[in-house]
Chain A
Amino acid sequence: MIELRAVSTRYGKRDILNDIDLSITPGQIVGIVGPNGAGKSTLLHVIAGTLTPDVGEVALDGDALSSVSLLQQARRRAVMSQQITMAFAYRVHEVIAMGWEPFRELEPLEIELLRQVAETCGVQHLLQRRFDQLSGGERQRVQFARTSLQVEGITKQAHNGYWLLDEPTASLDIGFELAVLRQLRAVAVRGVGIGVVLHDLEKAARFCDVVALLNEGTMVAVGAPREVLTDTTLTRVYRTPIDIEWHEQRGRLLIHA
């Protein structure tokens, strides 16, 4: 389990995160949602260990995150950040293979595994292309595949595994968006804990077990989507009248704003 206890971070005098508690359990998808500038990406950076909180603790399976070596962290959790650019002409298969780095000393990367991951992530036709010449959406799918390969390595190690993603579907069309979210669900079923920043509330309600609603650096509510995503809360947080409707038969949330 990844656990945040009473975490606060400041940038200058401004509070970015204020007294946040959150946990991600193996097998669970935790969606982090909230308006622009709510601190979602900062929260993900804290969970990933990129940013050390000024106050509070982050623990990875019971150990303080700061005491876990970079290698052990990388063998237990993968992180997909927002857009990446590369200055040199690496091929897509080279970029994806970088996801295997933490496991290179344990076992060599099987070409078959790379091809499988590429196929699952819908980038098998891009493998020989230059990464720096791909479109934004294609790059995002390649990064998804790279971290997905790292997750494959993590699950082979029989540890609890985690996958943290910052708006993994931001540049994707609806087809790929759903494919990515379905894949997250499939990986969670295999026991991986997932923390994902999402901007689409309907998708968050549909795919997440737990939704954490963030506003101005403060946790407004954490819990099952139905409990967190209510008319009154959303109207207040997003400062616009929001009407939600649960489609009972399909178990989905519809938003009227």
Chain B
Amino acid sequence: MRDEAVADLNTPEHAAVAFGQRPPFLFALLLALLVVLVIAICIGAIPLPLRGIFGLAQMSNMQDVVLYQIRLPRVVLAAIAGAGLACAGATLQALFRNPLADPSLIGVSGGAAVGAIFMIVLGAGFFSDALMPYLIPLAAVAGAIGITAMLYGFARWFGNFEVSTMLLVGIALNSISTVAIGAFQFLSDDTQLRTLVFWLMGSYGRATWVTVLPAVGVIVSAVLVLVSLGRKLDILQLGETEARHLSVDVDKLKRYTVIAAAAAVGAAVAVSGIIAFVGLIVPHIVRLIVGTSNRWVLPGAVLLGASLSVLADLVSRIIIVPAELPVGLVTSALGAPFFLWLIAVARPRT
């Protein structure tokens, strides 16, 4: 379908498409997201009537509570976290000019996890429980930005800010995060450990409006910034020097990308734990649909990331009723084989 769309540059109607103008595909992704959202809201341990959720039919009090206090915050969280992770993944792949880049690969997810765990384990003695829903995401975003700032600082200190240097430093920082997470697990008591393990597997299960709304604010702002950088990230694919020769301020572009991506990942990790592979898989599927240009890949990743994340959560809710799988296990089960396949096809070409 894509190849047909770009097959002929010699007719004006096709030329527009060939120039990467792909709103129809984005529109389809948006429709798909809306359908997925409605399905995910209706299906669950307590099914909700389709007419009821649109206010066309009377619902019982219990159905109202399920809809507004349980189902809706959870679906919104799944959508916004998936959108944030997928968009951050796509921009990091563009920034590192590496199809295998992922928030977890360069240490951003790890940094966010360290920040959140730090607050869960050590903050409990200092702050009241009422403050924790705000402090944990704050610490996670701080952790993600902190790690990314260190990444930036190291790379500068090494004398150049080449992408490969940054990637290697990211791998090293990731190992440090692993050590810190292990140490905090060792320090935690039994109840905390249960929370940590469940959280590290990734779950949207404890969503409440109190935890979800701050994440929505952070991720929406970060995603708006990232989507606006799409065209410049395309030019960056020519190389840093070439991008400068075409008027792109590469250092500024990197700074904005890194901070916005870190904020999106930090906010997502804080409320849902580490949901692996969304940031890796979604951008690749989106490229098959809308083409390579980040002008369309980034908004596409937002829409498809939200859809797939909500679907994965739906599967985790209904696959072993009445229990629930952590959604991180579902995405990893789907993502790991995909990752292997990607490694096989993305080997460096000569």
Contacts and interface: CB of A to CB of B under 8 A. Distances in A.
A97 B7 CA distance: 17
A128 B247 contact: no
A218 interface: no
A54 to B, nearest CB: 15
Interface stretch (A23-31, A74-82, A177-185, A230-238): A74-82
Contacts of A78: 245
A97 B16 CA distance: 13
Given A50-B241, A91-B292, A128-B9, A74 B349 contact: no
Nearest to A51: B241
Interface of A: 48, 50, 70-71, 73-75, 78-79, 81, 84, 86-91, 93-95, 97-99, 101-102, 111, 115, 127-128, 132-133, 150
A87 B238 contact: no
B287 interface: yes
B13 to A, nearest CB: 11
B247 A94 contact: no
B292 A101 contact: no
A87 B246 contact: no
Contact of B292 (A74, A94, A133): A94
B63 interface: no
Given A87-B99, A88-B287, A93-B18, A79 B245 contact: yes
Interface residues of B, number: 32
B192 interface: no
A115 B241 contact: no
Contacts of A71: 247
Nearest to A147: B245
Interface centre among A70, A86, A88, A97 (most CB of B within 10 A): A88
A102 B249 CA distance: 12
24 contacts: A50-B244, A70-B248, A73-B245, A78-B245, A79-B242, A81-B239, A84-B238, A84-B239, A86-B238, A87-B237, A88-B97, A88-B99, A88-B292, A89-B287, A91-B18, A91-B291, A91-B292, A93-B19, A98-B238, A101-B247, A101-B248, A111-B9, A128-B18, A150-B246
A111 B19 contact: yes
Interface in B288-312: 291-293
A128 B287 CA distance: 16
B234 interface: yes
Main secondary structure of the interface of B (DSSP, over half): loop
A49 to B, nearest CB: 8
B322 interface: no
B235 interface: yes
Contacts of A99: 246
A128 B15 CA distance: 11
A48 B239 CA distance: 15
Nearest to A124: B9
A87 B98 CA distance: 6
Contact of B245 (A74, A89, A128, A132): A74
A251 to B, nearest CB: 34
A132 B349 CA distance: 8
B24 interface: no
Given A91-B292, A93-B9, A98 B99 contact: no
A111 B12 contact: yes
Contact of B246 (A84, A102, A127): A102
Contacts of B15: 111
A88 B19 contact: no
B9 A94 contact: no
Contacts of B98: 87
Given A50-B244, A90-B237, A101-B246, 17 more contacts: A48-B245, A70-B244, A74-B247, A75-B247, A81-B242, A86-B238, A88-B99, A88-B237, A88-B292, A97-B19, A98-B238, A101-B231, A101-B235, A111-B12, A127-B9, A128-B18, A150-B246
